[in-house]
Structure 1
Amino acid sequence: MPHLTVEYSSNLPLQAKELLLQINTSLVETRHFQEVDIKSRAIRFDDVVVGTAPAERAFLHAKLAILKGRSTEVKRELSERVLAVIQAAHVWPQGLDVQLCVEILEIDKETYAKAHLGN
């Protein structure tokens, strides 16, 4: 825990693995998570519609799933931190309307199961 999923439109020239590593590093710095527990992935979407206008638009939506029990302040800190890393990690294309979003999801501790195999 946590699980980070970054969804983004294919018209963003994103180096996804590099961005995931930068976000993971930032999350470790918060001291809310152990380094080995952060699991991140990125999903690129080719078929995307943002709104109804014919303008060229793009999006990146990050979902950070954490165990329940953290305060609103901590959740806000996490979402703002992830957003700041995303904003700083890339030179966003000129003339492209890009929406960046971060969502904090809570996982129920009582029903979450985990096994860690290996070292």
Structure 2
Amino acid sequence: MPHLILSVSQDLAEHKHGLLQAAHQAMLDSVLTTNQDIKSRALVCEDVIVGEHSAEAFVHVDVRLLRKPERTNEAQKILADAITAALNSALPKQNMPVQLSCDMVLMNAETYSKIRLEA
């Protein structure tokens, strides 16, 4: 815990690794997370419609965090802005509009389950 889930439209699939690295680094730099526990992954979305514009791409990050007192709305907003800025820096100029976004999802620690298997 936490989880970073990066979704990119097919048009940006070639950039997914760099975008994932940038978003993951923003998480590593955050005071809201414990570095060894961040689990980041990228998903490519093949079938995408953005508003009325089929020729528009997107990168969206969902960050899932356990609810804790120090994870205030203000602190979450700082992290979301840092991730969005990191995506903006990592993505080369495109020939189409691109939407970059990030959302924080607070999870209930009382219902979260985790098992760690040692080698």
Band the TM-score falls in, shorter-chain normalisation: 0.7 to 0.9
Shift of 1:62: 0.6
The SS at the match of 2:110 is: coil
Aligned length: 117
The SS at the match of 1:31 is: coil
Q: How does 1:10-89 map to 2 (within 5 A)?
A: 10-53=10-53, 56-69=55-68, 70-89=71-90
Task: Give the unaligned 5+ runs of structure 1.
Answer: none
Runs of 4+ in 1 over 6 A off after TM superposition: none
Q: Which moved more, 1:32-41 or 1:57-66?
A: 32-41
Q: Which moved more, 1:25-34 or 1:102-111?
A: 25-34
CA shift digits 1:45-78 (9 cap, x unpaired): 1111111245x21111110010112111111111
* Distance in 1 of aligned mates of 2:50 and 2:56: 6
Q: By percentage of residues, which structure has more helix?
A: 2
* Distance in 2 of aligned mates of 1:19 and 1:37: 19
1:7 aligns with 2:18: no
* Distance in 1 of aligned mates of 2:30 and 2:113: 24
Alignment correspondent of 1:107: 107
How many percent identity over aligned positions? 30
Shift of 1:11: 1.0
Compared CA separation, residues 34 and 58, structure 1 to 2 (3 A): same
The SS at the match of 1:104 is: strand
Compared CA separation, residues 11 and 79, structure 1 to 2 (3 A): same
The SS at the match of 2:42 is: strand
Letter in 1 for 2:58: F
TM-score (norm 2): 0.88
